[in-house]
Amino acid sequence: MSLLLSGRWPDAERDQWLSLLRAALPGETWLLSPPGDPGQAAEVEVAIVANPLPGSLNDLPNLRLIQSLWAGVDRLLQDQTMPAVPLARMVDPAMNEAMAQTALWAVLSLHRGFFDLQEQQRAGLWRQPRQLRAAEWRVLVLGLGELGGRVAQTLAVQGYAVSGWSRRAASLVGVDCQQGQAALVPALARADVVVNLLPLTELTQDFFNATSLAAMKRGASLVNLARGAHIVESDLLTALDSGQLSRAVLDVFVHEPLPDGHRFWTHPKVTILPHCAAQTDARSAVAVVAENLRALRAGLPLQHLVQRERGY
């Protein structure tokens, strides 16, 4: 049997993954593109994927597992032709840590006014901001999964007044956990900053629209570290221009790379990151892949399976 490593990435990045995977899984046979030959295709047992081309996993009759190297699987799930075998996503401890760092930087910078101080410097202004304690600054984290849960707890340890919102009930030390639609509007209305770490699904697409942005506290900020399509970009620009929101820190966009000339590039109240809030760290992620492969072969439960019907 063989393992297929398939994705849309530069050769150098693929080769780095391949060498780490080979070291973690010695003795395996690897294919680097979907085989055209039916004999070879019948040998493929597991597909390890990073944004593969739609349809590229078809015609693998003995495929038993698709293991994504990325945490978000929204694009994979849009591929209607994807074989109906178990799909596992990446949950990488190093990625969780990186996401917590990015969220902490964004929240701390908003709380202490550091983005505004950068603007003041460019304008040659010496103006000292009012200093609030972390406990006086309310943060709402949307999504309390692997990433959101870690982010909420990291912020709570720093002393922020952290609430979290998820679909089902959650319990996290130091975090006021809320769930369900009824809790959403009051939570949005209280927060000084909202950090989005929801997965992109049918229910969460366009989550930040004119209605939900109007439900946020006037002058609050939005930090989007999840997916661009969570936000109706034109509605966010309107909210920023009107002063309803003070600032948006955006790592993800509807179209990536963010197109030249997009208003976000030059908007004084927008801080842009090039989708780098948290990357899969191949050095730790290969262990996750290897563990799932061993579980598959031993008939043990697989880790981090996606529930296709709910979209994450």
Cβ neighbors of 273 (< 8 A, separation 6 or more) are 102, 249, 250, 251
- 190 vs 275 by CB, closer to ligand NAP: 275
CB of 204 to ligand NAP, least distance (A): 5
DSSP H helices in the chain: 11-24, 38-43, 74-77, 93-111, 114-122, 146-157, 181-190, 210-215, 233-242, 263-266, 282-298
Q: What is d(CA 292, CA 68) in angstroms, rounded to the nearest whole number?
A: 11
* 215 strand-pairing partners: none
Q: 98: helix, coil or strand?
A: helix
Q: Of all residues in this chain, which one has the CB nearest to ligand NAP in the complex?
A: 145
- 113 vs 253 by CB, closer to ligand NAP: 253
Catalytic residue among 227, 230, 283, 308: 227
Is residue 230 among the annotated active site residues? Answer: no
139-216-264-149 Cα dihedral, nearest 10 degrees: 30
Phi then psi dihedrals of residue 89, to 5 deg: -105, 170
What's the one-letter identity of residue 115?
A: F
- 226 vs 293 by CB, closer to ligand NAP: 226
The residue ranges that bind ligand NAP (CB under 6 A) are 71-72, 143-148, 166-168, 170, 197-201, 203-204, 225-227, 251-252, 275, 277-278, 312
Q: What is d(CA 288, CA 291) in angstroms, rounded to the nearest whole number?
A: 5
Q: In terms of residues, how long is the chain?
A: 312
Q: What is d(CA 207, CA 233) in angstroms, rounded to the nearest whole number?
A: 11
Q: What is d(CA 20, CA 26) in angstroms, rounded to the nearest whole number?
A: 10
Catalytic residue among 262, 275, 304, 308: 275
- 170 vs 270 by CB, closer to ligand NAP: 170
Is residue 227 among the annotated active site residues? Answer: yes
- 277 vs 289 by CB, closer to ligand NAP: 277
Annotated catalytic residues are 227, 275
